[in-house]
Every structure is written in structure tokens, then in C-alpha cells.
Amino acid sequence: MSDTDRPWVIVVGAGPAGLLLSVMLAKLAGIKVQVLEANSKLDVSLRAAYYGPPAAVELRRAGLLDEIRREGFQPEIFCWRKLDGSYIAGLDYRKVADNPDRLFVLPLDQLGALLYRHASTTPGVEISFNHKVTEVGQDKDDAWVQVETSTGLHRLQAKYVVGCDGASSTVRRFISEDGGFPGFTWDNQIMTANVRLLRDPTPFICLNPDFRSWLTWEKILYPFDKFGYSDVQFIIHSEHWHLLARLSKNPNPDDDVWRIAYGEISGLTKEELLARQPEKFSVLLPGNPQPEDYKILSINPYKTHQRLVDSMRKGRLLLAADAAHLCPPFGGLGLTGGIVDVGGLYDCLAGIYHEKAEESILDLYSEVRRQKYIDHTDPMTKANLRRLTELDPDRALEDDKFLKLLDEIKNNNLEAQKEILMGDMKLYYDFTQHYKDKTPIVKRA
Ligand SMILES: Cc1cc2nc3c(=O)[nH]c(=O)nc-3n(C[C@H](O)[C@H](O)[C@H](O)COP(=O)(O)OP(=O)(O)OC[C@H]3O[C@@H](n4cnc5c(N)ncnc54)[C@H](O)[C@@H]3O)c2cc1C
């Protein structure tokens, strides 16, 4: 293969991070990219849905944000509650409704499909499914991967190889010193389910519109918001802690899908966890619903990890997103952090390609993105999980500084509220400030 036919970058993994990186490199900088995906199709398992402001910035740069906002929705109220549904404290995202970078929602299967549509139609991007990378290496001038395909083992070469191959990354094994992924795995398992209402609610008398104190003459469960649910609620409880979040907002609420993510005992098998699910739902959800009261669209157990790789660069080999760092899914920082990695890596690679930056900018990429995880993602996600699981809900406003602050500023300090609502912008970093030539990138013909 001649140098002009060869990709300049090989991206391992057609997850959201890999697809977005390929779109940005090819569309914005004219860089040829080959994406290698081990599976025969995109991974549609239920995971990310909520993305913070710095992800909006990068997706806008990629020219995708408007379409993503049209397919998804903007959530309004986030709050923390007790298991009986009573309200503790919250955040109102309508206060930043005019901010173009505000938080947005689109379930990962839809986001992945949208990114794939764009990546597969962007000139300069080639996506190869059933291409499992088994080895990665480099010399002075090039990086290479060994791929397993239906026709056997092949070696592919490019200037750089980027591992966007997720939590069990193969590329990471060739970057970190001992192949390790420093950090720890939390004891609890998390059961995550997407659910949809089954039937229209029958009429009921609601004495207290704020959640569960109502009088009904017939048990009904959904729609959640008829019971005073907000778009997102974190329920604080030592045993029955959970997150209940809206995944879609449709003209007909019967079509809406909700996400329930709840803590479960470690060590149980998937079958054991599934057997416990009906009892858990009846405790977690209002109306003590039985299985005939809801429809589970998908359900999966997850282990949660707090991990960060020692380095996101070794020569021509690079890492981004879950391949480099993991965090619990309470706070929407996992893929948000991954998308910000991708935007930063795009600037670094495009800068090198267009001779605006030295190769050493890739060391800075690794240093800055790791530090952002250490300073923001790691403490925020640990605190979010501990707030749910360890706090005494009856003393939450006294014992938890964050909830206390939300309560104090709720009526009088709009600026402080906006700062919290846009707080994840701390993850953002502009690598183009290190370009030696600051003129805009012009795609080569
Ligand atoms: C329950 C749950 C809820 C979450 N909610 C949120 C949320 O609301 N907001 C948020 O920001 N984040 C959230 N996250 C985190 C988010 O889902 C992940 O950060 C994100 O999916 C990671 O994307 P990725 O592209 O890095 O990796 P992945 O999505 O894992 O994609 C990696 C791809 O690489 C492929 N691959 C792997 N190995 C190889 C190989 N050797 N060769 C070729 N291909 C390979 C895989 O098949 C896969 O397609 C959540 C996670 C969980 C578990």
C-alpha cells in the first residue's frame, strides 16, 4: 500500500469515542482514518445518556450538536430525594436554558447510530467491522496493529494508532508499563434497566402533587412525572439507593423511556440479580409495582470502576475515553470525559499533521487529560456515589456540603447556581493555545 493510500491514523474501536475522533480528523482536518471494530456491529448495550457542557462544545465543533439536540432532549430538574420520595435538594437546568453548551440527553445507542451515520459518509473515513486488534507496535516512523479478520491475521500501518477500544482495551496493554489499569473496582454491582410504561394510568386523586403522598383507589405506576418525579432523581438510601432518570421526552408520554440504575449486592450472578429485580422495583418505585405494571426494554448488571491509566501516550500509540479512564455512571462524566479527550486529541493530531504543533504536544495531551480526571472526574464521581450510598438521608442537608449549598442558593443566588450547572466545563482544555502557528487549519486538497 502506498503512503497516500494508507490511513494517517488508525482508530481501534467504533464506540462513540472512536467514531467521533474519526469524524473530526477527516471532516475538519482532511486526515485519512481507518476505524477497526472487533464486533460485527455497533455496541448498543444500555450505558451513557447524559452529557455535560464540554461534550456539547466538542460535538458542536464536529458539526453534530444541533442534530443531537434535535434527536434528544434538554432535561430540566435534577434532585436528591429520600426513599419515600420526599425532596431534599435539587438543580434546575432551565436556569441555563439559553446557554448553548448546557447538558443534553441522548441514549448511547442513538448517539452511536448518529455518529456512525456521519463517520461512514465522511470522505477519508473507512470503518472495518470484524477487525479485532490483537497486537500493537511501533518503530521510529510508523505505528502498526495486527488484526484478526475472517481472512486471517493482517498487519496495518499508520502514523498513529489511537485506542478507543473501551474498558478492556487491547491498545492499553501495549502502552502502560505493566499492562495495568491503576485504580479500584467498587464493591457494589449496579443493575441498570430501561423501562417503559405499559398502560395509561387510571384516574386518581393526588393529595400532594410533590411525589408519593397521594390517595388512589387503584394501584398505578406510570407515567413517573404524574407522581411528582423530576427528569432526574438520585434516591439516597444505604440499601435501596438508586437513580431514576428520563431517557426521552415524547409528545405522547406513553412512549417515554426511563432509566433505573440501582445498587445491588456484589457476588451475585446475573440470574440471581434478575430474580431479585421484581422485588427491588416494588421497593424502589412508587405504587409498589408488580412485573405486569411495567415493561423492561433492557436490563444489565455492571461493575463500577475508578481507574486511570499511567500514561495516555507511548510514542505513536495513544489512548482516549474508557480505554484510559473509568468512573461510576452517576453524574454523566464517563463519556463526557471521553468526548473531551477526543476533542483534545483531535487538536493535537491535526496540529501535527498541519505542522502547527510539535509531536511533544501529545505528551501534553496525556498530562492534561490525566490531570483533568484526577482533579475533576475522580473526586466528583466518588462523591456522587458516596452521597447516594453513605449519607443519612434525614441529615443530608446538614452533613453533605454540596446539598447544603444547593439548598442555600436555591432562591437567591442565580450566578452560583449557573456555576454549578456548568461546572463540568472544568474538564475542557484548549490545546491549540500550544500551536506554534495559530492560523486556522485549512484542509489539504
Ligand atoms: C450503566 C452506565 C451508564 C452510563 N451513563 C453515562 C452517562 O449518562 N453519561 C456519560 O457521559 N457516560 C456514561 N457512561 C459511560 C459511557 O457509557 C462510556 O464512557 C462510553 O460508552 C465509552 O465509550 P468508548 O467509545 O470509550 O468505549 P466503548 O463504548 O466501550 O467502545 C469501545 C469499542 O471498541 C471495540 N473494541 C474493543 N476491543 C477491541 C479490539 N481489540 N479491536 C477492535 N475493536 C475493539 C468494542 O467492541 C467497542 O465497540 C455510563 C456507563 C454505564 C456502564
Q: Is the C-beta atom of 321 inside 6 A of ligand 1?
A: yes
Q: Which three cell numbers stand for residue 335?
A: 463519556
Residue 292 placed within a domain: no
Query: What distance in angstroms lies between residue 349's CA and the mean position of ligand 1's atoms?
Result: 22
Residue 28 placed within a domain: yes
Q: Which three cell numbers stand for residue 172?
A: 492499553
pLDDT > 90? residue 200: no
Tracing cell 487549519 back to the chain, one arrives at 441
Q: Is the C-beta atom of 37 inside 6 A of ligand 1?
A: yes
Residue 259 placed within a domain: no
Residue 30 placed within a domain: yes
Q: Is the C-beta atom of 166 inside 6 A of ligand 1?
A: yes
Residue 256 placed within a domain: no
DSSP 118-168: HHHHSTTEEEESS-EEEEEEE-SS-EEEEEEETTEEEEEEESEEEE---TT
pLDDT, tens digit, 9 for 90 and up, residues 233-292: 999 999 999 999 999 998 777 778 999 999 999 899 999 999 999 999 999 987 778 888
Q: Which three cell numbers stand for residue 329?
A: 455512571
What residue owns the CA closest to ligand 1's atom 2? 47
Q: Is the C-beta atom of 319 inside 6 A of ligand 1?
A: no
Q: Is the C-beta atom of 132 inside 6 A of ligand 1?
A: yes
| Residue pair 298/141 in contact by the 8 Å Cβ criterion | no
**Of all atoms in ligand 1, which is nearest to the CA of residue 18?**
25
How many domains would you assign to the chain? 1
Region 52-56: mean pLDDT is 98
The pLDDT value recorded for residue 204 is: 44
Range of the domain at 164: 9-70+101-183+307-385+412-434
Q: Is the C-beta atom of 330 inside 6 A of ligand 1?
A: no
Measured from the Cβ of residue 408, the count of other Cβ atoms closer than 10 Å reads 13
**Of all atoms in ligand 1, which is nearest to the CA of residue 170?**
41
The pLDDT value recorded for residue 225 is: 66
The pLDDT value recorded for residue 91 is: 95
Give percent of the chain above pLDDT 90. Answer: 82
Q: Is the C-beta atom of 192 inside 6 A of ligand 1?
A: yes
Residue 244 placed within a domain: no
d(CA 220, CA 140): 66
Measured from the Cβ of residue 281, the count of other Cβ atoms closer than 10 Å reads 23
Residue 24 placed within a domain: yes
**348: pLDDT confidence band, cut at 50, 70 and 90?**
very high
**Of all atoms in ligand 1, which is nearest to the CA of residue 321?**
26
Region 102-128: mean pLDDT is 97
| Residue pair 303/290 in contact by the 8 Å Cβ criterion | no
**Of all atoms in ligand 1, which is nearest to the CA of residue 171?**
41
Residue 403 placed within a domain: no
| Residue pair 16/341 in contact by the 8 Å Cβ criterion | no
CATH number of residue 381's parent domain = 3.50.50.60
Q: Is the C-beta atom of 13 inside 6 A of ligand 1?
A: yes
